[in-house]
């Protein structure tokens, strides 16, 4: 496969297909945190760990879907001068090695207009877009623009999503279906894996694309249970952002250690 | 007395404004809220209970008062719709009562609210005490400082206060924190939003509950003057008292509608809370698209106002629509003008208005022309004495 000619959607599909883990490892990176340079280093550590896909967050003033750790990281990134242009450069750098999906709040996507935003994103080589406050059905021009540029507009489903909406979202999903494991914002939580199987099964029945489980997954044990539940991918965000913030001298080393534990938990065949 | 609105559907959008820009987790709750509000709105038993509480608990109808000395000063009759005489001291109780009854119908056992000046928080805490429902109020730390009496009232009423330390520690962050709580606890919790902002159906729901202000004032004005006012003036933060009084006059094209925003230290300083006045590109804040203060990248910028209730970088989507179609106009007055009007009304009429309300009064005082003004006196100003007179208890 050539990353240069494949569309973003195709490149994401190929990454899932080529994964030899029980579930793809999909870490979240806060662009510009703690600084733009450091976030490139952290992303480099993700690439070095052999992750299948990176979800790259754009820091935002009012992140309604995020818990305190990612909110604070975004605030710090903005205080250190992070801009959309800077984060898109991070996307460009990382996209050479791994599929990148940008996570960006709706106001920033719609500020220049959906088409202009998506066109600019496509030029970085990124593969897709997640807009956590843009539910399916709102601003259809974002999906149109993504489709036109071959980028995956990845929708979210939640445990509260009704069967009717789930069917609609599953049909509109591109790239993968971001399945929120808990009712809540992003952040680490204890013992919630008992509902993974139900949440994943419901999502898988609704869609033809891979199902990635996220929100609240931070430990190797939780990652293993997500794979046990049948998830095609595991998204880990807050745990990694916290690791980076707790090791200001060597954030790349800190996230590498966390990723090593997560990768071991997703080995195929399972290392029990 | 209002019998409630009669239009059959709820608006999701007002022209290009409004919508539902929220995490997917909340979508079923918004759909449920809309369904239940449409049912309640058509249910005479709901209105009978609400009307009873508005009358016996809140003290409605509120008086329409001809402000004699103020009228002499500006050279035209000025009437004040006395929402400050509601129980809890502002129009906020109209909405809190209506939404709490709705929450009870939906079987919700916990209510959350955001508050800026504390008036909406006090109203919500009051209603929760009345109905025996758990109440949690999010309030910015800066607002807790400058509206200390209201914090004490909420605590006395049994509400749990959640101080919010993010950003400028004012209303925008309090609202974001309340929405995050709702995302986490949506299954048993109702979010009583305090203004005509937020994702659909809130802007329409809150307007429906606040329109009692205008419905009463219109009938009172016709009875007193035998004619409609030439102009209706109200302050606008999110814009619920303004929407509440405007709604009764929307179809009367000859009645001019004026919303007065917080000019802060002056529009040119960019330290203000006047997104409708300034104009510019629409944006998304707290779940709806409307007039929003933002930078060129789409980051929301902090508002500034001496008045905690107007210290907000957004405004209700219906206001943005009314501005665009030319039905209402929006102007700003500065902190300094508002403080002056606060003092003028006290001396002229023996009424201490809320600092929010003082913005509407400042506009009236500065406006030379006019023939018959109706002003929404949205709240009383006891809470603001320390902030205006200094020695704020710090």
Cβ neighbours of A136 in B, within 8 Å = 24
**Secondary structure (3-state) at B186:** coil
Give the C-alpha separation, A244 to B363, whole Å. Answer: 52
Q: Given this model, what pLDDT does residue A245 score?
A: 96
pLDDT confidence tier of residue B3, bands split at 50, 70 and 90: very low
Q: What is the pLDDT of residue A186?
A: 87
pLDDT value for B332: 98
Is residue B183 less than 8 Å (CB to CB) from chain A? yes
Q: What is the mean pLDDT of residues B224-233?
A: 98
Residue B1 pLDDT more than 90? no
B114 is catalytic: yes
A131: tokens are: 């807009």
Asked if the model's pLDDT at residue B146 lies above 90, the reply is no
Task: Please say whether the beta carbons of B289 and B17 come within 8 A.
Answer: yes
Whole-prediction pTM value? 0.95
Q: What is the pLDDT of residues B93-112, one digit of tens each?
A: 999 999 999 999 999 999 99
Contacts of B13 (CB under 8 A, 6+ apart): B19, B200, B317
User: How much of chain B exceeds pLDDT 70, in percent?
Assistant: 97
d(CA B341, CA B359): 7
For the segment B126-152, the average pLDDT, to the nearest whole number, is 95
pLDDT in tens for each of the 272 residues of chain A?
A: 444 568 999 999 999 999 999 999 999 999 999 999 999 999 999 999 999 999 999 999 999 999 999 999 999 999 999 999 999 999 999 999 999 999 999 999 999 999 999 999 999 999 999 999 999 999 899 999 999 999 999 999 999 999 999 999 999 999 999 999 988 888 888 757 778 999 999 999 999 999 999 998 999 999 999 999 999 999 999 999 999 999 999 999 999 999 999 999 999 887 65
**What are the backbone angles phi and psi of residue A251, rounded to the nearest 5°?**
-60, -35
Q: Which residue has the tokens 């999502």?
A: A203
Instruction: Determine contact, residues B137/B154, Cβ cutoff 8 Å.
Output: yes
- Total residue count of chain A as it appears in this document: 272
Q: Is the pLDDT of residue B365 over 90?
A: yes
> Do the beta carbons of residue B10 and residue B37 sit within 8 Å?
yes
Count CA atoms closer than 13 A to B318's CA, side-chain side: 28
Phi/psi at B373 (nearest 5 deg)? -100, 140
Tell me, what's the pLDDT at A191? 59
A2 close to B (CB below 8 A): no
Q: Quick check: B392 pLDDT over 70?
A: no
A147 is catalytic: no
Indicate whether B32 pLDDT > 90: yes
Contacts of A157 in chain B (CB under 8 A): 24
Closest CA to B134 of B143, B142, B125: B125
CB contact under 8 A, B166 and A75: yes
CA distance A156 to chain B (A): 7
Nearest CA to CA, how far is A181 from chain B (Å)? 11
Mean pLDDT of B298-306: 94
Is residue B35 less than 8 Å (CB to CB) from chain A?
no
Q: What is the pLDDT of residue A4?
A: 52
Select from A61, A73, A31, A105 the least CA-distant residue to B293.
A61
Residues in chain B closer than 8 A to A70 (CB atoms): none
What pLDDT is stored for residue A183 in this prediction? 86
Contact A234, A220 (CB under 8 A): no
Neighbours of B369 (CB within 10 A): 9
Q: What is the mean pLDDT of chain B?
A: 94
Q: How far is CA B388 from CA A74, A98, B58, B168, B352, in A?
A: 35, 58, 27, 20, 11
Q: CB within 8 A of A111, min separation 6: which ones? A: A117, B281, B283, B294, B296, B297, B298
Cα–Cα dist B4/B103, whole Å: 18
pLDDT of B362 higher than 70: yes
- Could you identify the residue written with the tokens 């016709």? B222
Query: Which A positions 62-101 lie with beta carbon below 8 A of chain B?
Result: 62, 64-67, 71, 75, 78, 83-84
DSSP string, A234-251: EEE-HHHHHHHHH-TT-H
| Residue B102 token pair | 């709705």
Question: Chain A partners of B184 at a C-beta cutoff of 8 Å?
Answer: 183-185
The pLDDT, as a whole number, for residue A5 is: 67
A79 Cβ neighbours under 8 A, 6+ residues apart: none
Q: Where would I find the beta strands (DSSP E) of A155-271?
A: 156-157, 177-180, 211-214, 233-236
- Tens digits of per-residue pLDDT, B33-71? 999 999 999 999 999 999 999 999 999 999 999 999 999
Q: Nearest Cα to B63, choosing from B198, B237, B192, B223?
A: B223
Q: Report pLDDT digits (tens) over B245-256.
A: 999 999 999 999
What the block records as the tokens of B94 is: 């109209």
Rg over CA atoms, chain A: 17
Check pLDDT > 50 for residue B393: no
What single DSSP character describes residue B227? S
Burial of B126 (C-beta count, 10 Å sphere; 0-12/13-18/19+): buried
- Residues forming a β-bridge with B17: B14
Q: What value does the CA radius of gyration of chain B take, rounded to a whole number of Å?
A: 19
Give CA–CA dist B363/B233, Å, rounded: 8
The secondary structure element, H or E, covering residue B288 is strand B288-290
What's the rounded Cα separation, in Å, for the pair A150 and B337? 55
B287 touches chain A (CB under 8 A): yes
Half-sphere exposure of A258 (CA within 13 A, CB side): 28
Task: Please list the residues that pair with B273 across neighbouring strands.
Answer: B262
């Amino acid at each position: 496969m050539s990353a240069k000619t494949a569309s973003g959607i195709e490149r994401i599909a190929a990454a899932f297909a080529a994964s030899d883990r029980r579930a793809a490892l999909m870490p979240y990176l806060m662009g510009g945190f703690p600084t733009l340079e450091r976030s490139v280093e952290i992303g480099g550590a993700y690439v070095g760990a052999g992750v299948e896909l990176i979800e790259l967050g754009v820091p935002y003033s009012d992140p309604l879907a995020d818990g305190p750790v990612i909110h604070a990281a975004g605030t710090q990134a903005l205080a250190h001068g992070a801009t959309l242009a800077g984060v898109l450069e991070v996307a460009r750098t990382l996209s050479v090695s791994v599929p990148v999906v940008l996570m960006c709040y709706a106001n920033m996507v719609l500020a220049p207009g959906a088409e202009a935003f998506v066109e600019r994103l496509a030029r970085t080589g990124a593969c897709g877009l997640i807009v956590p406050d843009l539910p399916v059905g709102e601003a259809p021009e974002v999906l149109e623009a993504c489709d036109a540029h071959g980028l995956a507009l990845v929708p979210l489903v939640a445990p509260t999503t009704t069967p009717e909406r789930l069917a609609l979202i599953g049909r509109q999903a591109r790239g993968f279906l971001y399945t929120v494991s808990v009712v809540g914002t992003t952040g680490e939580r204890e013992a919630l894996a008992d509902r993974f199987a139900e949440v994943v099964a419901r999502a898988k029945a609704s869609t033809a694309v891979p199902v990635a489980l996220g929100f609240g997954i931070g430990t190797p044990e939780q990652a293993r249970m997500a794979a046990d539940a049948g998830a095609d991918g595991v998204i880990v965000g807050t745990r990694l952002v916290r690791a980076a913030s707790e090791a200001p001298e060597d954030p790349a080393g800190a996230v590498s250690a966390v990723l090593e534990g997560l990768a071991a938990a997703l080995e195929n065949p399972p290392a029990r | 007395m209002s019998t409630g609105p009669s239009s059959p559907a709820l608006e999701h959008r007002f022209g290009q404004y409004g919508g539902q820009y929220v995490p997917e987790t909340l979508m079923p709750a918004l759909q449920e809220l809309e369904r239940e509000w449409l049912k309640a709105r058509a249910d005479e038993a709901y209105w009978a209970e609400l009307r009873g509480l508005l009358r016996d608990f809140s003290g409605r109808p509120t008086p329409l008062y001809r402000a004699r000395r103020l009228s002499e000063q500006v050279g035209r009759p000025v009437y004040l719709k006395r929402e400050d005489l509601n129980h809890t001291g502002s129009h906020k109780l109209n909405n809190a009562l209506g939404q709490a009854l709705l929450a009870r119908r939906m079987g919700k056992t916990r209510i959350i609210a955001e508050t800026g000046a504390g008036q909406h928080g006090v109203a919500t805490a009051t209603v929760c005490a009345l109905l025996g429902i758990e109440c949690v109020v999010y309030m910015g730390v800066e607002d807790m400082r400058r509206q200390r009496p209201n914090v004490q009232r909420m605590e006395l009423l049994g509400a749990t206060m959640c101080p919010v330390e993010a950003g400028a520690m004012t209303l925008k962050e309090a609202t974001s924190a309340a929405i995050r709580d709702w995302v986490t606890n949506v299954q048993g919790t109702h979010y009583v939003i305090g203004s005509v902002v937020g994702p659909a159906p809130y802007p329409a729901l809150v307007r429906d509950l606040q329109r009692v202000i205008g419905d009463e004032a219109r009938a009172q004005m016709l009875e007193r003057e035998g004619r409609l006012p030439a102009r209706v003036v109200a302050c606008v933060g999110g814009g619920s008292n303004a929407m509440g009084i405007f709604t009764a006059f929307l179809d009367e094209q000859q009645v001019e509608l004026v919303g007065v925003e917080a000019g802060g230290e002056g529009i040119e300083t960019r330290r203000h809370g006047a997104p409708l006045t300034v104009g510019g590109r629409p944006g998304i804040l707290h779940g709806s698209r409307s007039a929003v203060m933002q930078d060129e990248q789409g980051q929301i910028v902090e508002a500034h106002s001496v008045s905690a209730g107007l210290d907000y970088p957004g405004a209700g989507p219906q206001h943005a629509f009314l501005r665009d179609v030319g039905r209402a106009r929006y102007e700003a007055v500065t902190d300094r003008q508002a403080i002056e009007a606060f003092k003028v009304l006290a001396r002229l009429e023996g009424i201490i208005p809320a600092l929010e309300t003082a913005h509407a009064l400042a506009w009236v005082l500065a406006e030379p022309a006019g023939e018959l003004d109706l002003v929404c006196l949205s709240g009383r100003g006891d809470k603001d004495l320390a902030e205006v007179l200094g020695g704020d208890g710090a």
